[in-house]
Amino acid sequence: MLEVIFWAAVGLLLYTHVGYPLLLSALVRIRRSEGGGTAVGPPPRVSLIVAAHNEETVIAAKVANALALEYPRERLELIVASDGSTDATVARARAAGADLVLDLPWLGKVRAQDAAVERASGEILAFSDANSSWAPDALRWLVAAFADPAVGYACGRVRFTNAGGSNEEGAYWRYEMAIRALESRLAGITAGNGAIYATRRDSYIVVDPRMGHDLSFPFNMVKRGWRAVDVSAARAEEKMVPSIEGEFLRKRRMMSHAWPIVIQGGMLSPRGYGALYGLQIASHRILRYATPLLHVAALVLNVALVGRGAIYAATLAGQLALAVAAAIGGFAPRRSRLWRPARLAYYYVLVTAALAAGLWDWLRRGTPAGWEAPEGTR
């Protein structure tokens, strides 16, 4: 029985990280993408909403970036929703030319977005972070996805930049975006990002303020009969957290918001999922979030089984090698290509630990609705 559980844990780890992307690739090759639509008439009116909490250093640049987008100005409404800002965010957003600036009490990002939606006039509701810079044509590409009447949610691509040298988030994000593109061609994406996304007004959902849009919107859209798609041509940039340790803290905070969605927010319920989308949720979300438990099980059982044959000595050596590489990676030079594998191992271990740490934080003290910008991203 111990051997069965051990190999199940190892198999699930390999499946979620390697097997699942390969399965998606195979399914895309044998299954045609669902049909879209063609836009006719004038472009839809868009309300671009930026929720901001104490963003005085970046909000003017964000407003300027939004107003410079290649989209008819008369069809674009820019709303800045200040979520309890105590600095000059409101004044600077107004001075920069935002169409509407809401000076709200501090209720959290989701409630600030909800308040902006209530005041918005657009058929399409687009959302962005205050520190995100969109490519000039990003909004046109994002809106074009809604020519397909089945699409309720469209998410663009964010590229993380760091003038001081890259951490390993860029490598992980490229891997994640490749999976998301495959999911989009099949049953739909299972998560988005806060930097660049949009919904129809008719498909917008008011969610629990602890449960951000990034994870809760896509699967809830699918449950309501909409498609959630990736729009790779809609591009944005954001400054990344400058260190792997900072990335651990960011992902730990994110997961403290994600776990309520998984456990209480309806993700685990199969109601409303087609078979393929259910497979995607199980593979890309539930199994991915279970990787800390799977790693612990694989290590503990491997120690217990090490005397039963050379194969278990080899698998234990592999697990210990990952741990040693991660330990080395924590001290390795950031810019050296020679030490890149160790840095990637260190990143993987910390990010996997962040999944468990976020769960612990949520269980221990709950999840607040408010948020603070990660250090080094402004």
Segment 235-254 mean pLDDT: 82
Q: In this structure, what DSSP letter does residue 376 have?
A: T
Cα–Cα distance, 323 to 317 (Å, whole number): 10
Helical H segments across the chain, by residue range? 2-14, 20-30, 59-67, 89-96, 109-119, 138-144, 169-185, 213-223, 244-263, 275-280, 287-289, 291-305, 310-329, 340-365
Q: Three-class SS of residue 292?
A: helix
Does position 245 have pLDDT exceeding 90, yes or no?
Answer: no
Cβ burial of 18 (10 Å; 0-12, 13-18, 19+) is exposed
Lowest mean pLDDT among 107-111, 325-329, 372-376: 372-376
Segment 282-299 mean pLDDT: 96
Instruction: Render pLDDT for 109-164 as a digit per residue (tens, 0 to 9).
Output: 999 999 999 999 999 999 999 999 999 999 999 999 999 999 999 999 998 776 54
Q: Which residue has the tokens 């949520």?
A: 362
Q: In this structure, what DSSP letter does residue 18 have?
A: I
Does position 370 have pLDDT exceeding 80, yes or no?
Answer: no
109 Cβ partners below 8 Å, 6+ apart? 51, 53, 83, 212, 369, 370, 371
Cβ burial of 336 (10 Å; 0-12, 13-18, 19+) is exposed
Instruction: Render pLDDT for 182-209 as a digit per residue (tens, 0 to 9).
Output: 999 999 999 999 999 999 999 999 998 8
Does position 349 have pLDDT exceeding 60, yes or no?
Answer: yes
154 Cβ partners below 8 Å, 6+ apart? 142, 145, 146, 197, 198, 199, 228, 229, 230, 231, 234
Can you give the pTM of this predicted structure?
A: 0.88
The domains found in the chain, sorted by start residue, are: 46-242 (3.90.550.10)
Token pair for residue 29?
């090759």
Token pair for residue 4?
């069965």
CB 102 within 8 A of CB 82: yes
Segment 302-321 mean pLDDT: 94
